[in-house]
A and B are shown apart, each in its own frame.
Chain A
Amino acid sequence: MLQKVLQALEETQGPVSLDELSRQLELDVGVLEGMIDFWVRKGKLKDSRLAACAGGCGNCNPGAQGCTFDRGRPRSITLT
């Protein structure tokens, strides 16, 4: 089941939404998210939500919750 997630990602063309992927794999979105988290920990997938902490903000007012301009960016997950 876990491998299927990586495989599906390798085979997709273009961007795919989490919902689309969950329908394609016939998995609940929640379950899929859990599996994605597992692969992120294993270093096979990259989650932009976690990578964002590494980004800088220049003088664009880095607030308590990170760069204020960066917060609007949607979360994305990629193969590494």
Chain B
Amino acid sequence: MTSIGLTPSLRMTYASPIEAELTRLSEDLGHCPDLVARYPMRWLAIQLLEGDALLQAEVERLGGSVASEALAASRMRLETHYGEDLDVAMVDQRYRFVHDLAAQALTRPKTPSLTMSDRVDRIVTNRWLGIPIFLGLMWVVFKLTTDVAAPFVDWIDAVLTGPVSHWIISLLSITGLSGGWLESLLIDGVIAGVGGVLVFIPVLFSLYFALAILEDSGYMARSAFVMDRLMHRLGLHGKSFLPMIVGFGCSVPAIYATRTLENERDRILTGLLVPFMSCSARLPVYVLVAAIFFPTMAGLVIFGLYLTGILVAIGLGILLKHTLFGNELPTPFVIELPPYRLPTLRNIWQQMWERTAAFLQHAWTIILGTSMLIWLLLALPVSGEGGFAETDVDQSAFAAVSGVVTPVFAPLGFGSWETSGALLTGFVAKEVVVSTMIQVYNVPGEEEEEAVATTFGEDLLAIGGSFVSATSDALKAIPSIIGINLAAEEDEQAPDGLTGAIRQGFDASSGGHGALAALAFLVFVLLYTPCMVAVAAARQEFGSRWMWVSIIGQFVIAWLAALIVFQGGRFFL
């Protein structure tokens, strides 16, 4: 039998002080037969000096005090050479050994070949092109979320206010409960409130789709890198943009993500800035209001809002860094830029679904709860002749409560009880702003007009048919992202009840500058407290003092920014 020697002939030698102890220790341990029977002695000595706890316990158990003392003595002698870092020295020497070996066994190309990722990165993370590319991609994302999602939004809206409402009314009439407060609760409370928010699921779905593609392809890491480099140049500590990227999805995990910052002050500073990143729950408010006041350039308005959020965060960051938070040296960090890859459908679908599910969870708990509470407050008369659930909304308890804070918003152009009420409930969660607006601007008697008798089957057919046409509209909208308009310009529809009511409301509260007031309103929504959960997270992470700083600070900044938009705009127009 030709036996090939498999036992390595090369032995890795450590620095002489370590070698001396390895020899000594393996000899000492070699006196213990229990150890010899189990372990190669030199190997055991190496692991022990490197500080392996498992094997040390084993040696103490099998070798007794003689072995432990020999080990302690060896370690003691080496401490004079290496201090606490004996293991560092040993691992380092192993790396050197491997490095030398690799240098002999491997010829690397003189100029390392550039991978596809390297080539793309040269452009995408370029000093000058990086930020324009980031902004350009953001622009595409918001065109996508508004234009492509819009037909589906209309479709869900039509289904909920049409067939679904009819079905509920029919069901109630079968059970003999129609026309009463229960019908009002279900139609004006649940359908108007929760349904009003569910309508925007296609918008969120497309936002999450775009975010998933950016993340899965590896671009998101580059954008954080590019933005952090910019912040560093502006004198801000680095790394804060990493939590902010998370903030585009949801502020709460973004606040927790500040834990990766090591410096307490950086952590708090970033925690104060993160809520200005426009979270996905704010998007439905933008879409609703922008579609009413800026139908032809909703994408631009929304893009502008996101950009405003980033700019406010950076500006405030610089301001705070030079005042409250002192000027410490930024902590350097390494960021992993994973190789670009084609996003997989499975990953994208999973992210879209999980994130949308998080939103739906909200709908069933927080939004349902607040919608019902608001319905109750709207149904309760405080003046006038109307009875319960029959009162004019103007005379409801909700109008009375909201009326108290209305003067605060008057200089901003949206000092009506309806908007004040929506913003008040918006402290709970931003989706609720939408549901409240739909509830308070809900014009009664609208459903009856279109109540043409249809059968269940006809309803289903109509739902299916309108979905097909919504899909085709959405497909037609895709080329418009890059500026090609396939869809024939539709005649602007006569404003329906809700649109008209919201427009009238803003016009009335702003002295005729409805669009300007709406823009100020959106800026306010962008900048004030994202939601109760974010507040709770801030308190848990930074303490109640900083929580209050955050709430009040955001309110003041939101108020000032909205004031500048409204009063400044009025001055120029």
Instruction: Tell whether any CB of A sits under 8 Å from a CB of B in the complex.
Output: yes
Q: A residues bordering B, Cβ < 8 Å? A: 1-3, 9-19, 21, 31, 35-36, 38, 42, 46, 48, 51-52, 54-61, 63, 67-80
Q: Which of A10, A52, A61, A75 has the most CB of B within 10 A?
A: A61
Q: Which A residues touch B513, using CB under 8 A?
A: none
**Closest Cβ of chain A: how far from B303's Cβ, in Å?**
20
Q: Which A residues touch B88, using CB under 8 A?
A: 2-3, 42
**B332 interface contact, C-beta 8 A:** yes
Is the CB–CB distance between A59 and B257 below 8 Å?
no
Give the complex CA separation of A8 and B236 in angstroms: 21
Is the CB–CB distance between B221 and A69 below 8 Å?
no
Q: Which of A56, A69, A72, A79 has the most CB of B within 10 A?
A: A69
Give the complex CA separation of A31 and B354 in angstroms: 35
Is the CB–CB distance between B232 and A15 below 8 Å?
yes
Known: A46-B260, A56-B537, A69-B358. 19 other contacts (CB 8 A): A15-B334, A21-B334, A51-B260, A57-B252, A61-B354, A67-B253, A70-B257, A71-B215, A72-B249, A73-B243, A73-B246, A74-B245, A74-B337, A74-B338, A76-B334, A76-B335, A78-B261, A78-B262, A80-B262
Q: Which B residues touch A1, using CB under 8 A?
A: 92, 95-96, 99
Q: Which of A52, A60, A76, A79 has the most CB of B within 10 A?
A: A60
Give the complex CA separation of A14 and B245 in angstroms: 18
Total count of chain B residues near the partner, CB < 8 A: 60
**B228 interface contact, C-beta 8 A:** yes
**B134 interface contact, C-beta 8 A:** no
**B449 interface contact, C-beta 8 A:** no
Q: Which of A70, A74, A78 has the most CB of B within 10 A?
A: A74
Q: Which A residues touch B362, using CB under 8 A?
A: 59
Is the CB–CB distance between B534 and A15 below 8 Å?
no
**Closest Cβ of chain A: how far from B127's Cβ, in Å?**
12
Is the CB–CB distance between A9 and B332 below 8 Å?
yes
**Closest Cβ of chain B: how far from A73's Cβ, in Å?**
5
Task: Given A57-B252, A72-B220, A76-B333, check contact A52 B260 (CB 8 Å).
Answer: yes
Q: B residues bordering A, Cβ < 8 Å? A: 87-88, 91-92, 95-96, 99, 118, 121, 125, 211, 214-215, 220-221, 224-225, 228-229, 232-233, 238-239, 242-243, 245-246, 249-250, 252-254, 256-257, 259-262, 330-338, 351, 354-355, 357-358, 361-362, 365, 533-534, 536-537, 540
Task: Given A14-B232, A14-B330, check contact A70 B246 (CB 8 Å).
Answer: yes
Is the CB–CB distance between A55 and B253 below 8 Å?
yes
Task: Given A15-B239, A17-B337, A19-B337, check contact A71 B225 (CB 8 Å).
Answer: no
Q: Which A residues touch B334, using CB under 8 A?
A: 9, 15-18, 21, 36, 76-78
Q: Which A residues touch B99, using CB under 8 A?
A: 1, 31
Give the complex CA separation of A1 and B97 in angstroms: 11
Q: Which of B249, B254, B336, B534 contacts A18 (CB 8 A)?
A: B336
Is the CB–CB distance between A75 and B249 below 8 Å?
no
Give the complex CA separation of A60 and B361 in angstroms: 9
Task: Given A48-B242, A57-B252, A78-B239, check contact A18 B335 (CB 8 Å).
Answer: yes
State the 5 A-B residue pairs at the shortest beta-carbon distance, nearest first: A61-B358, A74-B221, A58-B252, A69-B249, A14-B232
Is the CB–CB distance between B361 and A14 below 8 Å?
no
Q: Which of A31, A36, A73 has the most CB of B within 10 A?
A: A73
Q: Which B residues touch A35, using CB under 8 A?
A: 95
Q: Please count the residue pairs between chain A and chain B whose beta carbons lie under 8 angstroms apart in the complex.
A: 177
Chain A residues touching B, majority SS: mixed
Is the CB–CB distance between A68 and B242 below 8 Å?
no
Task: Given A31-B95, A56-B256, A68-B351, check contact A16 B332 (CB 8 Å).
Answer: yes
**Closest Cβ of chain B: how far from A47's Cβ, in Å?**
9
Q: Which of A9, A15, A46 contacts B228 (CB 8 A)?
A: A15
Is the CB–CB distance between A70 and B262 below 8 Å?
no
**Closest Cβ of chain A: how far from B224's Cβ, in Å?**
5
Closest to A29 in B: B336
Closest to A35 in B: B95
Q: Which A residues touch B245, using CB under 8 A?
A: 72-74
**Closest Cβ of chain A: how far from B249's Cβ, in Å?**
4
**Closest Cβ of chain B: how far from A7's Cβ, in Å?**
11
Q: Which A residues touch B330, using CB under 8 A?
A: 14
Is the CB–CB distance between A58 and B534 below 8 Å?
yes
Q: Which of A13, A19, A61 contacts B355 (CB 8 A)?
A: A61
Give the complex CA separation of A6 and B147 in angstroms: 49
Q: Which B residues touch A60, using CB under 8 A?
A: 249-250, 252-253, 358
Q: Which A residues touch B243, using CB under 8 A?
A: 73
Is the CB–CB distance between B336 and A70 below 8 Å?
no
Give the complex CA separation of A32 and B252 in angstroms: 33
Give the complex CA separation of A59 and B533 in angstroms: 7
Q: Which of A3, A11, A54, A68 contacts B358 (CB 8 A)?
A: A68
**Closest Cβ of chain A: how far from B64's Cβ, in Å?**
30
Q: Which of A14, A58, A77 contacts B537 (CB 8 A)?
A: A58
**Closest Cβ of chain B: how far from A71's Cβ, in Å?**
7
Closest to B220 in A: A72
Closest to B243 in A: A73
Is the CB–CB distance between B92 and A75 below 8 Å?
no
Is the CB–CB distance between A56 and B358 below 8 Å?
no
Give the complex CA separation of A67 and B221 in angstroms: 17
Give the complex CA separation of A4 and B214 in angstroms: 34
Is the CB–CB distance between B257 and A73 below 8 Å?
yes
